Amino acid sequence: MYNVHSSSKPTRFILLLLLATIAGLANAEGRTTDVASGQYELQSGALARSYLLHAPKQLTHPAPRVIVMYGYTSSADSIMSYSAMNDVAVEEGFGVV
Protein backbone atom coordinates (compact mmCIF):
# COMPACT_ATOMS: atom_id res chain seq x y z
CA MET A 1 0.00 0.00 0.00
CA TYR A 2 1.18 3.53 -0.74
CA ASN A 3 2.31 5.50 2.32
CA VAL A 4 1.91 9.25 1.79
CA HIS A 5 3.97 10.10 4.88
CA SER A 6 7.06 8.34 3.56
CA SER A 7 6.81 9.88 0.09
CA SER A 8 8.97 12.70 -1.19
CA LYS A 9 7.78 16.31 -1.15
CA PRO A 10 7.20 16.41 -4.95
CA THR A 11 5.10 13.24 -4.72
CA ARG A 12 3.02 14.70 -1.89
CA PHE A 13 2.54 17.88 -3.91
CA ILE A 14 1.30 15.90 -6.91
CA LEU A 15 -1.13 13.98 -4.71
CA LEU A 16 -2.42 17.23 -3.18
CA LEU A 17 -2.79 18.72 -6.64
CA LEU A 18 -4.77 15.69 -7.82
CA LEU A 19 -7.09 15.91 -4.83
CA ALA A 20 -7.58 19.65 -5.27
CA THR A 21 -8.37 19.18 -8.94
CA ILE A 22 -10.89 16.43 -8.31
CA ALA A 23 -12.55 18.47 -5.57
CA GLY A 24 -12.56 21.61 -7.70
CA LEU A 25 -14.21 19.94 -10.68
CA ALA A 26 -16.63 17.78 -8.69
CA ASN A 27 -20.25 18.58 -9.45
CA ALA A 28 -23.56 16.82 -10.05
CA GLU A 29 -23.50 14.26 -12.87
CA GLY A 30 -24.54 15.57 -16.28
CA ARG A 31 -24.46 19.24 -15.27
CA THR A 32 -22.17 21.86 -16.72
CA THR A 33 -19.34 23.17 -14.58
CA ASP A 34 -19.27 26.53 -12.85
CA VAL A 35 -15.55 26.24 -12.07
CA ALA A 36 -13.61 29.09 -13.64
CA SER A 37 -10.39 28.58 -15.52
CA GLY A 38 -7.46 30.37 -13.94
CA GLN A 39 -4.63 30.17 -11.46
CA TYR A 40 -5.31 28.48 -8.12
CA GLU A 41 -3.21 27.91 -5.02
CA LEU A 42 -2.91 25.19 -2.41
CA GLN A 43 -0.76 24.75 0.69
CA SER A 44 1.85 21.99 0.78
CA GLY A 45 3.37 22.11 4.24
CA ALA A 46 4.76 25.61 4.68
CA LEU A 47 4.83 26.25 0.92
CA ALA A 48 2.09 27.79 -1.18
CA ARG A 49 1.89 26.00 -4.55
CA SER A 50 0.07 27.35 -7.57
CA TYR A 51 -1.37 25.64 -10.63
CA LEU A 52 -3.32 26.60 -13.74
CA LEU A 53 -6.73 25.07 -14.36
CA HIS A 54 -8.54 25.05 -17.70
CA ALA A 55 -12.19 24.01 -17.41
CA PRO A 56 -14.02 24.36 -20.75
CA LYS A 57 -17.42 26.05 -20.41
CA GLN A 58 -19.27 23.09 -21.94
CA LEU A 59 -17.61 20.60 -19.56
CA THR A 60 -20.14 18.24 -18.01
CA HIS A 61 -19.74 15.86 -15.10
CA PRO A 62 -18.42 13.37 -14.61
CA ALA A 63 -15.54 14.48 -16.80
CA PRO A 64 -11.94 13.30 -17.03
CA ARG A 65 -9.07 15.51 -15.89
CA VAL A 66 -5.65 15.56 -17.53
CA ILE A 67 -2.59 16.77 -15.65
CA VAL A 68 0.08 18.23 -17.91
CA MET A 69 3.47 18.36 -16.22
CA TYR A 70 6.59 20.19 -17.33
CA GLY A 71 10.30 19.89 -16.60
CA TYR A 72 12.40 21.83 -14.14
CA THR A 73 13.50 24.57 -16.56
CA SER A 74 10.06 25.10 -18.10
CA SER A 75 6.89 26.82 -16.85
CA ALA A 76 3.14 26.29 -16.80
CA ASP A 77 2.64 29.07 -19.36
CA SER A 78 5.14 27.57 -21.81
CA ILE A 79 3.73 24.02 -21.63
CA MET A 80 0.20 25.41 -21.99
CA SER A 81 1.29 27.24 -25.13
CA TYR A 82 3.19 24.50 -26.95
CA SER A 83 1.15 21.46 -25.85
CA ALA A 84 -2.19 22.96 -27.01
CA MET A 85 -3.95 20.75 -24.43
CA ASN A 86 -6.51 23.48 -23.67
CA ASP A 87 -7.70 23.30 -27.28
CA VAL A 88 -7.87 19.50 -27.11
CA ALA A 89 -9.79 19.77 -23.82
CA VAL A 90 -12.43 21.95 -25.46
CA GLU A 91 -12.78 19.53 -28.39
CA GLU A 92 -12.79 16.34 -26.29
CA GLY A 93 -14.50 17.52 -23.08
CA PHE A 94 -12.01 17.27 -20.21
CA GLY A 95 -10.36 19.55 -17.67
CA VAL A 96 -6.64 20.38 -17.80
CA VAL A 97 -4.34 21.11 -14.87
How far apart (Å, rounded) are the C-alpha atoms in residues 96 and 59?
Answer: 11
Q: Is the entire prediction scored with pTM above 0.75? A: no
By C-alpha distance, which of 29, 37, 38 is closest to 57? 37
Rounded to the nearest angstrom, the gap between the alpha carbon of residue 74 and the centroid of all alpha carbons in its chain is 17
By C-alpha distance, which of 70, 64, 66 is closest to 86? 66
Dihedral over Cα of 37, 41, 44, 49: its sign: positive
Q: pLDDT (tens digit, 9 = 90+) per residue, 31-87?
A: 555 678 899 998 888 989 888 888 888 887 778 888 888 888 888 888 888 889 999
47-53 and 95-96 beta bridge pairing? unpaired
